[in-house]
Structure 1
Amino acid sequence: MSHIAVERNRRRQMNDHLKVLRSLTPCFYIKRGDQASIIGGVIEFIKELHQVLQALESKKQRKSLSPSPGPSPRPLVQTPQSGDHVHTPFGIENFKELGACCNSSVADVEAKISGSNVMLKVIARRIPGQIVKIVSVLEKLSFEVLHLNISSMEDTVLYSFVIKIGLECQLSLEELALEVQQSFFPNVVYTHEI
């Protein structure tokens, strides 16, 4: 085989593999059709699937140790560089509130600042109509859903939101995570009505 034929065969295989990757990846992960965008989108999708797997393993361990019926919020603490400040939609803050988690045996909720928006991830067992409840809570709290991705595996689902913070919103990320967590409990009254 000549060098040209070998190279042509390699390109054909690369293009075939890229087509398969693109078909296996939800379309919103891939912004453009070029090779770099396809590979970058696949990487993001795999990272998200990896997070789902870790959350499921964590949930399995928690259930085997001691199942707790109620939510337990906790802030995510990241190590600051000396004197770092973070520009958030809530104002300039010392590096203390970049994210928050609220975990229970029913659902795990994580909220993080991402630029001028909030990334919200919810991992839970599949409950019919739950996504409507979550969106309703977000709207009541003056958030606007910019992007929503739903990934599911058997009876577990991952809701990934990008949400814009409304001008009237006065919640911390920890309070947001707790409010979304409480949407999984039918008899809970929302504490931050606008």
Structure 2
Amino acid sequence: MNEHLKVLCSLTPCFYIKREDQASIIGGVIEFIKELQQFVQSLESKKQRKSLSPSPGPSPRAPFQLSTPQTENPKELGARCNSPFADVEAKLSGSNVILTTISRRIPAQIVKIINVLEKLSFEILHLNITSMEDTVLYSFVIKIGLECQLSVEELALEAQQSFCSDAVYVNDI
């Protein structure tokens, strides 16, 4: 049993496991698997949208969709913000915020997100980047600064807007 727990620890990013006891390890692995499942679902959704869409790219004028995710833990507050450019989720986890974004690869996008977070008085504790083909998942664990007055919904929208700040719309030309 202990050997299997060590293997689970080695396969799971360290910020998911808060302590080295069995319950914390298993709980952390469960959270990591849930995040991976969300990533797979998002990739499947994007693949399905891509196969249904006759146009080569998403509609740049589609509105943002903001929704509150269903969480098993009522103490976790969160928000999702989806657009043709990226899917963004922000959720409170204790005294930190977990921010995840899924999008196509965009040059220098990670720098834009980091600049937004720093401008909003967040401190980045951990960043994980996962990519597959032309899709990338950024997962941030961020500490809320004392001077930050943003809700998780506002954070999700701010992060979402970093994806389309340089977008050129056909109607604007």
- TM-score, normalized by length of structure 2? 0.71
Does residue 51 of the first structure (1) align with residue 43 of the second (2)?
no
Distance change >3 Å, CA 166–CA 16, structure 1 → 2: closer
Distance change >3 Å, CA 21–CA 184, structure 1 → 2: same
**Which residue pairs with 2:90 in the alignment?**
111
**Which residue pairs with 1:11 in the alignment?**
none
For 2:133 and 2:95, the matched residues in 1 are separated by: 34
Q: CA RMSD in A?
A: 3.2
For 2:145 and 2:5, the matched residues in 1 are separated by: 39
Does residue 172 of the first structure (1) align with residue 151 of the second (2)?
yes
1:72 CA drift (Å): 0.6
1:180 CA drift (Å): 1.0
Question: What is the percentage of aligned positions where both structures have the same residue?
Answer: 77
Q: Deviations over 1:83-120 (max 9, x none)?
A: x9x8x9xxxxxxxxx33222122211012233343221
Q: 1:69 aligns with which of 56, 60, 67?
A: 60
* Structure 2 unaligned residues grouped into runs of 5+: 168-173
**Which residue pairs with 1:42 in the alignment?**
29
**Which residue pairs with 1:22 in the alignment?**
9
2:60 maps to a residue whose letter is P
Distance change >3 Å, CA 15–CA 143, structure 1 → 2: closer
* Structure 1 unaligned residues grouped into runs of 5+: 1-13, 89-97, 189-194
Q: Deviations over 1:20-52 (max 9, x none)?
A: 433333333334555444433322221111110
The 8 Å contact of residues 15 and 126 in structure 2, kept in 1 or not, is answered as no
**Which residue pairs with 1:158 in the alignment?**
137
Distance change >3 Å, CA 19–CA 175, structure 1 → 2: closer
The 8 Å contact of residues 73 and 174 in structure 1, kept in 2 or not, is answered as no
Corresponding pairs, count: 160
For 2:70 and 2:10, the matched residues in 1 are separated by: 36
For 1:42 and 1:168, the matched residues in 2 are separated by: 33
**Which residue pairs with 1:183 in the alignment?**
162
Distance change >3 Å, CA 56–CA 77, structure 1 → 2: closer
**Which residue pairs with 2:170 in the alignment?**
none
The 8 Å contact of residues 59 and 105 in structure 1, kept in 2 or not, is answered as no
Q: 2:100 aligns with which of 116, 121, 139?
A: 121
The 8 Å contact of residues 86 and 104 in structure 2, kept in 1 or not, is answered as yes
- TM-score, normalized by length of structure 1? 0.65
For 2:139 and 2:125, the matched residues in 1 are separated by: 11
